[in-house]
Amino acid sequence: MLVLRSGLTRVLAARKLAPQVCSSFATGPRQYDGTLYEFRTYYLKPSKMNEFLENTKKNIHLRTAHSELVGYWSVEFGGRMNKVFHVWKYDNFAHRTEVRKALAKDKEWQEQYLIPNLALIDKQESEITYLVPWCKLEKPPKEGIYELVTFQMKPGGPALWGDPFKRAVHTHINRGYTKLVGVFHAEYGVLNRVHVLWWNESADSRAAGRHQSHEDPRVVAAVRESVNFLESQKNMLLIPMSFSPLK
């Protein structure tokens, strides 16, 4: 018994002495309050894109009666064509489960939207994300276009690359080259992935701001720091649908 107590004492002492790694990017506070965002991507059959969008516009109210739609876009540039991307907000995982059960029992939703549209879809993808603690979801001042930039960071999590990434994002915001809508950290899907959703008035204003940022020494310095932890990145230019809350 004395040996066990002595070993336990050493373990507890070691825990007290161990350095605590933390980051302002860590998603803990957001996970604690439970709010999550589901990213859904639908790959549509090329000849059925218009039919899918018309049916969605006509019947989206049946879906939003169950949970909050953040935004709904068609993909203009970046990756495969004939693709739509939408974001749904849930209070927590239990809330999402309740919504999915309710939808399964909603005959009007099933018959008017889901069943007719299933034949128009090639593939579906879903990813669960949290807003990072230092960011809140912002609504742009007017209609425009959106850019979703996806960063695949090196393994190690936010404790490794969170602060440099945050500085790079804030430098772009502070210089006024674009408007931030939200920064999302993947919880289910590919790990160490961060999505940044930007807003611009037009594709041309986005291009102009990007060219200016490339010549800004503050932006360049922040990006050079962050890129040390980057494995890959990609982006998509998104056009909001008429029924999208984010225009």
Q: Percent of the chain at pLDDT above 70? A: 85
CATH class of 36-240: alpha beta
**Per-residue pLDDT at 165:** 86
pTM value is 0.82
Do residues 220 and 204 make contact, with C-beta atoms less than 8 angstroms apart?
no
Output the pLDDT for position 33.
65
pLDDT value at residue 32 = 60
**What pLDDT score was predicted for residue 27?**
43
Question: Dihedral angle at the C-alpha atoms of 137, 141, 142, 148, nearest 10 degrees?
Answer: -30
| 122 φ/ψ sector (left φ>0, alpha ψ -120 to 50, else beta) | alpha
Low-confidence residues in the chain, pLDDT < 50: 1-30
Residue 13 is predicted with a pLDDT of 44
Cα torsion angle, 75, 164, 137, 64, sign: positive
User: What is the predicted pLDDT for the residue at 120?
Assistant: 96
pLDDT computed for residue 166 by the predictor:
86
Q: For residues 180-198, b (16+ Cβ closer than 10 Å) or e, as one string?
A: bbbbbbbbeeeebbbbbbb
pLDDT at 209: 79
Looking at residue 19, its pLDDT comes to 38
Q: Where are the domains of the chain?
A: 36-240
- What pLDDT sits at residue 86? 98
- H helices of 48-120, where? 49-64, 93-105, 107-109, 115-118
Q: pLDDT tens digits, residue range 155-185?
A: 888 887 888 888 888 887 766 778 999 999 9
